[in-house]
Chains A and B, each alone.
Chain A
């Protein structure tokens, strides 16, 4: 497997450097990058300010994890990672040692301190805040919540860009690609600002963020709840997302753009029995009346009505948690017979698009995680080596070169990178593939799962003979494809890469012998 081969290469590189004290910078670099290869993929959530990033993070993690608000709230980068002991660790920009805090301090550390100059100074020293949480979702990914771009508070944009590796003032974005701390991106577009978002896309493309490619970036269209009550949020969201992918050219940057009703998703995850009881009472109102009232937020949450159950304070709590659309949707589901809190919560999460979005993240990033991380490691080694080399004595310089080459040559040797290159070419629109051929390209490179069966499009648990037959059949098809002189240069080379993918699959089946075990699925691959 790619990961084992990569770790082996790192180990050979360490051996090459030996125990010479002069080689310490090189060893540190290799250790750091090796460790990063073994740690979960880092996914940063990026978008314009107040576009619903924090709400999306909460929805993805199933509850209230990071603070959210009506105005530009998030001030610092929040880095959520798995930890059995919950807590936060504050990392400073000036290199001061990181400072642990209680989880309850997070809100104070995240939210802009408008009235407290002392706290403000403290906050401005922060590089990022590491939030450790025992949430099982975080076993697969680190999730990094950023303040956002295009902010009135220029420091927000600066904090976001700095984290993505882009120097605040430096005009050249050369270091962007390699300095970036994130492996992959979720780009968030608020439904409210579509044209600005089209510019944001252009901005991302212009900034030369190496992370923003369809291989490493997916998009979320947030705040679709606001389409309601004029339109059905998810239907309209899908339509708008589709137009953005085609009209606004997002498909060159994003693997996919999905609508998510994250407020509904996040609210559903924290629904209490009391909430459910209130919703059940509201469900007894005439649906039209409820919808009309819930569409006028200030009245719904502030006014006493003789014909409305549930006091305004409780209505306000529900509105804050689910929004007008979420309340009306919940009441509809309750009327349709969903009478338990757990059942309602699960259905809301499904309807909000959050469940599907999680699957998308798992499938898309999960299946390419090792290749993505190794690609970044190689880039980082090459970049940092240039800095370290001149400071080393001549003999160490040569050894460092040899050691780093152990890892970087994987970039040429590993077929996974050839596959990524073809995928990138495909997303750029540079290949002339039919829809079926394109679907096969995605499948064989692991979009639907990294098991051999998934890559061949065969049922899980298929026997070795079935797999072998399937693989040989596809190999023959692609061999004749590449032999066909009518296919142009890049398309033909893509065909050759796909052909090679099948050859490697066949080699793997043959090596495993007749007692082939089903390969681990999506999450296991991490």
Chain B
């Protein structure tokens, strides 16, 4: 597996493999000690690390060469269909599967998605404008699972709808994606400078990254360098524009000129000059660096923290017994008392959940209030842009869809960024809480690691990925997913369906975010177009009406949407934090169980020490030192790995 990406195969993948090996090693120890809780938690942590996908989202205007780029990256010519006419507004996704399995999702009755399995040769018939004019087939998603070695390691590529129209509803979906992406590739090409509409998209992507402070993981690609004789001028031109619109320092937002054609030529005949011109080795290196930076640290950090906790839980009984062996009778009695106290306290925690639950809930309520405040501020920021910019722009005043799509898309971006923030804040709150209650056995080895994402995975343990969104979500979500809410009717259904599909393609937090975006898109379009139609009729009627009057009228018509967004923001965040609270309680219960297991073992061992006669103590000490040796080795490895993972930090470290 490692050599499929050649030289560019990063430290990250090595680290991941080493971490997975540690899981196996430690599980072996836990099993030999019959530590059931530890074994279970290790298995869950290992599974999480294995299942976690690295999602690379590719975005750019149509005909910039996105599909060819993906084909060249995956070294599979013709996998993503290439068409001269514009491709329809759908999402195409490729990920690993042991055998090829391709499906399209189309909008079915009442907007509920329906999946159709197809062959690879049929992709173009669904996914290109030539094969499926005007997307008459209603395709929303093309999902490709294929045994491509480059997709192993959980890599998933997502080809998003074009972004050229900053006014399109689907750029909301695209923007919603970006927060969950492990890396984002923005595509420009050497035959045409970046247009204002494309830059506008980048501006907004950058502005939603500002909310979560996530400039890392973005990279830019200049395709089609084969079509020109010299691409330096356009490269400089593109670089300067990107630096200006995103405000990201240019040396930390790499832009890689590539030729997909040259790469595909190289695959045909192995010509060295083609590989060199293609510049794909450089792109792959930059891509993996971006993945490692944005995702690698958090992902591996969380896994290492799991390992660290389990190793210490297993170590405690041995250390306690060792200390018991070397101490005098009075010390031994004190140690026994101390350990028994701890055991009693843990039992208390276990049996008396209500107290700490209230405390935790209170703490997360604080997080919620903070998030709601932040979310409303972000929405307000968007609405003030609406008032000060959009309502002074001719294009928006003229066209209802344009303005609505813009507003929805802005709100979607704010929404998904705040959702992402919610996950992080909740995780941080949980960490503080654990430390305060002494549940954190030890601080993570490398303090510089970011807050691990809150493992919400087990909320969705049951069921297949397609019906995940329905589980564990509040009634309101489900109603909307069924297209059953009366307020937004079919609009919510379709938007929701896209959100659900899009979301489930990505890790679990993404499902929720996808739903948020989908819900918002559907909700606003479904419920507001009707109420605004009066305005537009009036505009057509009174052709020469004063602009300011029109503007004021439009602004007041939009207030309903604004209020709806505000309450939707507050309520959805409340739902989201409630999900996190449930997950956090579950997590703490598991940790308590794991530690109880360790302490109980320690108590038993201390009793054995007391019963043991002096001459046996020496040989027992030797046994114990031998028993803790593998755990010490594991801990040392965890330490080394943590340092290396922390070193994955690049720009923000």
A residues whose Cβ falls under 8 Å from a Cβ of B:
48-51, 69-72, 150-152, 154, 157, 170-174, 190-196, 198-199, 203, 206-207, 223, 226-227, 230-231, 236, 239-240, 243-244, 247, 292, 295-303, 316, 319-320, 324
Q: Are A191 and B84 in contact (CB under 8 A)?
A: yes
Q: How far is the CA of A191 from the CA of B65 in the complex (A)?
A: 12
- 5 interchain pairs (CB within 8 A)? A71-B233, A243-B85, A296-B265, A297-B228, A324-B227
Q: Are A240 and B277 in contact (CB under 8 A)?
A: no
Q: Quick one: closest A residue to B231, CB to CB?
A: A298
Say yes or no: A49-B193 contact (C-beta < 8 A), given A171-B392, A243-B129, A298-B230.
yes
Q: Are A239 and B193 in contact (CB under 8 A)?
A: no
Residue from the list B189, B226, B241 in contact with A297, Cβ < 8 A: B226
Q: Does B199 contact A (CB under 8 A)?
A: yes
Most buried by B among A48, A195, A239: A195
Q: Quick one: closest B residue to A236, CB to CB?
A: B84
Beyond the given A48-B195, A191-B63, A226-B224, could you list 7 further A-B residue pairs with CB under 8 A, ordered by the A residue number? A69-B233, A72-B237, A151-B196, A152-B195, A171-B393, A199-B164, A231-B84
Residue from the list B129, B133, B225 in contact with A298, Cβ < 8 A: B225
Q: Are A320 and B229 in contact (CB under 8 A)?
A: yes
Q: How far is the CA of A48 from the CA of B397 in the complex (A)?
A: 22
Residue from the list A172, A192, A247, A303 in contact with B134, Cβ < 8 A: A247
Q: Are B191 and A226 in contact (CB under 8 A)?
A: yes
* Contact code string B77-88 (vs A, CB < 8 Å = 1, else 0): 000001011100
Q: Are A295 and B241 in contact (CB under 8 A)?
A: no
When distances are taken between beta carbons in the complex, the residues of chain A under 8 Å from B398 are 206
Q: How far is the CA of A192 from the CA of B85 in the complex (A)?
A: 9
Q: Does B162 contact A (CB under 8 A)?
A: yes
Say yes or no: A296-B226 contact (C-beta < 8 A), given A152-B196, A303-B273.
yes
Q: Does B259 contact A (CB under 8 A)?
A: yes
When distances are taken between beta carbons in the complex, the residues of chain B under 8 Å from A199 are 164-165, 167, 197
Q: Are A195 and B231 in contact (CB under 8 A)?
A: no
Q: How far is the CB of B244 from chain A (nearest CB, A)?
A: 9
When distances are taken between beta carbons in the complex, the residues of chain B under 8 Å from A319 are 229
* Contact code string B35-62 (vs A, CB < 8 Å = 1, else 0): 0000000000000000000000000011
Q: How far is the CB of A29 from chain B (nearest CB, A)?
A: 24
Q: How far is the CB of B403 from chain A (nearest CB, A)?
A: 12
Q: How far is the CA of A157 from the CA of B200 in the complex (A)?
A: 15
Q: How far is the CB of B263 from chain A (nearest CB, A)?
A: 11
When distances are taken between beta carbons in the complex, the residues of chain A under 8 Å from B84 are 191, 194, 227, 231, 236, 239-240
Q: How far is the CA of A72 from the CA of B196 in the complex (A)?
A: 11
Shortest 8 CB-CB contacts between residues of A and residues of B: A195-B86, A301-B229, A195-B62, A196-B164, A194-B86, A71-B237, A171-B394, A150-B195
Q: How far is the CB of A326 from chain B (nearest CB, A)?
A: 12
When distances are taken between beta carbons in the complex, the residues of chain B under 8 Å from A320 are 229
Q: Does B624 contact A (CB under 8 A)?
A: no
Q: How far is the CA of A48 from the CA of B195 in the complex (A)?
A: 8
Say yes or no: A296-B85 contact (C-beta < 8 A), given A192-B63, A193-B195.
no
Q: How far is the CA of A414 from the CA of B395 in the complex (A)?
A: 36
Q: How far is the CB of B223 from chain A (nearest CB, A)?
A: 11
Q: Are B164 and A193 in contact (CB under 8 A)?
A: yes
When distances are taken between beta carbons in the complex, the residues of chain A under 8 Å from B277 are 296, 298-299
When distances are taken between beta carbons in the complex, the residues of chain B under 8 Å from A236 are 84
Q: Are A196 and B61 in contact (CB under 8 A)?
A: yes
Q: Are B61 and A296 in contact (CB under 8 A)?
A: no
Q: Are B193 and A300 in contact (CB under 8 A)?
A: no
CB-contacts of B212-270 with A (<8 A): 224-231, 233-234, 237, 241, 259, 261-262, 265
Q: Does B358 contact A (CB under 8 A)?
A: no
When distances are taken between beta carbons in the complex, the residues of chain A under 8 Å from B397 are 171
Q: How far is the CA of A170 from the CA of B84 in the complex (A)?
A: 37
Q: Quick one: closest B residue to A242, CB to CB?
A: B85
Q: How far is the CA of A49 from the CA of B197 in the complex (A)?
A: 11
Q: Are A296 and B395 in contact (CB under 8 A)?
A: no
Q: Are B85 and A194 in contact (CB under 8 A)?
A: yes
Q: Are B194 and A195 in contact (CB under 8 A)?
A: no
When distances are taken between beta carbons in the complex, the residues of chain B under 8 Å from A300 are 229
Q: How far is the CB of A465 from chain B (nearest CB, A)?
A: 51
When distances are taken between beta carbons in the complex, the residues of chain A under 8 Å from B195 are 48-49, 150-152, 193, 196
When distances are taken between beta carbons in the complex, the residues of chain A under 8 Å from B167 are 199
Q: Does B32 contact A (CB under 8 A)?
A: no
B residues whose Cβ falls under 8 Å from a Cβ of A:
61-64, 82, 84-86, 129-130, 133-134, 162, 164-165, 167, 189-197, 199, 224-231, 233-234, 237, 241, 259, 261-262, 265, 273-274, 277, 392-395, 397-399, 544, 547
Q: Are B225 and A195 in contact (CB under 8 A)?
A: no
Q: How many A-B residue pairs have CB under 8 A?
A: 141
Q: Quick one: closest B residue to A225, CB to CB?
A: B227
When distances are taken between beta carbons in the complex, the residues of chain A under 8 Å from B130 are 243
Q: Are A171 and B547 in contact (CB under 8 A)?
A: yes
Q: Are A301 and B230 in contact (CB under 8 A)?
A: yes
Q: How far is the CA of A170 from the CA of B394 in the complex (A)?
A: 8
Q: Are A195 and B164 in contact (CB under 8 A)?
A: yes
When distances are taken between beta carbons in the complex, the residues of chain A under 8 Å from B133 are 243, 247
Q: How far is the CB of B479 from chain A (nearest CB, A)?
A: 34
Q: Are B259 and A193 in contact (CB under 8 A)?
A: no
Q: Quick one: closest B residue to A324, CB to CB?
A: B227
Q: How far is the CB of A194 from chain B (nearest CB, A)?
A: 4
Q: Are B395 and A206 in contact (CB under 8 A)?
A: yes
Q: Are A298 and B226 in contact (CB under 8 A)?
A: yes
Q: How far is the CA of A191 from the CA of B265 in the complex (A)?
A: 23
Q: Are A70 and B547 in contact (CB under 8 A)?
A: no
When distances are taken between beta carbons in the complex, the residues of chain A under 8 Å from B129 are 243, 247
Q: How far is the CA of A52 from the CA of B125 in the complex (A)?
A: 31
Q: How far is the CA of A374 from the CA of B226 in the complex (A)?
A: 49
When distances are taken between beta carbons in the complex, the residues of chain B under 8 Å from A190 are 192
Say yes or no: A195-B63 contact (C-beta < 8 A), given A71-B237, A295-B226.
yes
Q: Are B192 and A193 in contact (CB under 8 A)?
A: yes
Q: How far is the CA of A432 from the CA of B265 in the complex (A)?
A: 52
Q: How far is the CB of B548 from chain A (nearest CB, A)?
A: 10
Most buried by B among A48, A150, A152, A170: A152
Q: Quick one: closest A residue to B276, CB to CB?
A: A299
Q: Are B259 and A223 in contact (CB under 8 A)?
A: no
Most buried by B among A231, A247, A297: A297
Q: Are B194 and A152 in contact (CB under 8 A)?
A: yes
Q: How far is the CB of A166 from chain B (nearest CB, A)?
A: 9
Q: How far is the CA of A320 from the CA of B227 in the complex (A)?
A: 11
Say yes or no: A299-B273 contact (C-beta < 8 A), given A195-B165, A247-B134.
yes
When distances are taken between beta carbons in the complex, the residues of chain B under 8 Å from A324 are 227
Residue from the list A50, A247, A295 in contact with B193, Cβ < 8 A: A50
Q: How far is the CA of A296 from the CA of B273 in the complex (A)?
A: 10
Say yes or no: A50-B192 contact (C-beta < 8 A), given A192-B63, A193-B61, A247-B129.
yes
Say yes or no: A195-B394 contact (C-beta < 8 A), given A243-B129, A295-B261, A320-B229.
no
Residue from the list B62, B86, B228, B265 in contact with A70, Cβ < 8 A: B228
Q: How far is the CB of A275 from chain B (nearest CB, A)?
A: 15
Q: Are A192 and B191 in contact (CB under 8 A)?
A: yes
Q: Are B85 and A292 in contact (CB under 8 A)?
A: no
Q: How far is the CA of A151 from the CA of B197 in the complex (A)?
A: 8
Q: Quick one: closest A residue to B195, CB to CB?
A: A150
Q: Quick one: closest B residue to A229, CB to CB?
A: B261
Q: How far is the CB of A51 from chain B (nearest CB, A)?
A: 8
Residue from the list A50, A152, A196 in contact with B165, Cβ < 8 A: A196
Q: Quick one: closest B residue to A172, CB to CB?
A: B547
Q: How far is the CB of B381 from chain A (nearest CB, A)?
A: 23
Residue from the list A70, A157, A173, A174 in contact with B234, Cβ < 8 A: A70
When distances are taken between beta carbons in the complex, the residues of chain B under 8 Å from A316 are 229
Q: Are A193 and B63 in contact (CB under 8 A)?
A: yes
When distances are taken between beta carbons in the complex, the residues of chain B under 8 Å from A172 are 544, 547
When distances are taken between beta carbons in the complex, the residues of chain B under 8 Å from A223 are 191
Q: Quick one: closest B residue to A48, CB to CB?
A: B195
When distances are taken between beta carbons in the complex, the residues of chain B under 8 Å from A154 are 196
When distances are taken between beta carbons in the complex, the residues of chain A under 8 Å from B395 are 203, 206
Q: How far is the CA of A48 from the CA of B224 in the complex (A)?
A: 20
